[in-house]
Amino acid sequence: MKLEGKVALITGAGSGLGRQSSQLFTAEGAKVAVVDIDGDRAEQTVKLVEQQGGEAIAITADVSKKDQITAAVDQTVAEFGKLDIAWANAGVVSRGGVPTVAGGEQVNFEDLTEEDWNNVLGVNLSGVIFTAQAAVPHLKRNGGGTIIATSSAASFLAYHQIALYSATKAGVNGLVRGLSLDLGPFGIRVNGLAPTHGMSPNFLMPAGSPVVGQSYEEVSGPWDPFVSPIPLKLNRPPSLVDNAKIALFLASDDAAYMSGQVISSGDGGTMSRVGMWFPEDLEQKNPNA
């Protein structure tokens, strides 16, 4: 088991990647604190973990509030005796984000409010900072540990209507690099993953929506790799677990000498593209047809 004897805290673990990773981490031997702003979702994740024989606790916390995530970290240590892995995974998209995917209303950049900015900044960047600040004293006490932050492909490439979101995720990348330098002397590794494909539709759904438990690609209908724009052609769609396994790698001793890195997880070659489309990209053919 890759995480035998480890204690992990995962924010945003009530659904999507966080829920999938809670199940994966516990299957690999870790005890997990499932942190989410929606307490019912966190409890549901714990039930799934327990059904597979794992050990987890549910904690309700808003990561944009420093006192709440600090209390969540302290509760984790009080329950399990230590903290080895802190994963700041919680995130929200800016209002009006990716409207063509979500079926929502487009919001012009100039119409976004100060409240809109403070909301996405508070969760996506301040939440990562607060989670790390709360975890570091415990990781130092251990003589080392791991911090993981969930970034996004939108920190590297432009997506329509989510400039505020992209700005916060680019900030996460800079934070990962800076903290890796500052915390390295204490044996603390800091890395990030930037998912592209294989993410949950819950991310764009209203709060309180039923947890889907599958990726966008898995729920969009029969999979045809030669219709998908993903360059890598496989006989199954990308899934939540494809991203979760990258997080597992970063959390484990397999990545013992990795720090300051942000990996484009679940990418399938998408990030290899240049800044324009060529005819062969637009007219992809099945080589086996």
Identify whether the C-beta of residue 220 lies closer than 8 Å to the C-beta of residue 202: no
Identify whether the C-beta of residue 136 lies closer than 8 Å to the C-beta of residue 69: no
159, 165, 216, 257: the catalytic one is 165
How far apart (Å, rounded) are the C-alpha atoms in residues 265 and 196? 7
How far apart (Å, rounded) are the C-alpha atoms in residues 256 and 15? 28
CA distances to 6, 83, 209, 253 from 32, in Å: 9, 10, 24, 17
End-to-end CA distance of the chain: 42
Measuring CA to CA, which residue among 9, 143, 123, 19 is closest to residue 73?
9
**Active site (annotated) includes residue 257:** no
Measuring CA to CA, which residue among 178, 248, 239 is closest to residue 25?
248
Query: Which two three-digit tokens encode residue 175?
Result: 């934070």
Task: Give 126's strand partners.
Answer: none
DSSP code, position 122:
I
Q: Which residues are known catalytic residues?
A: 165
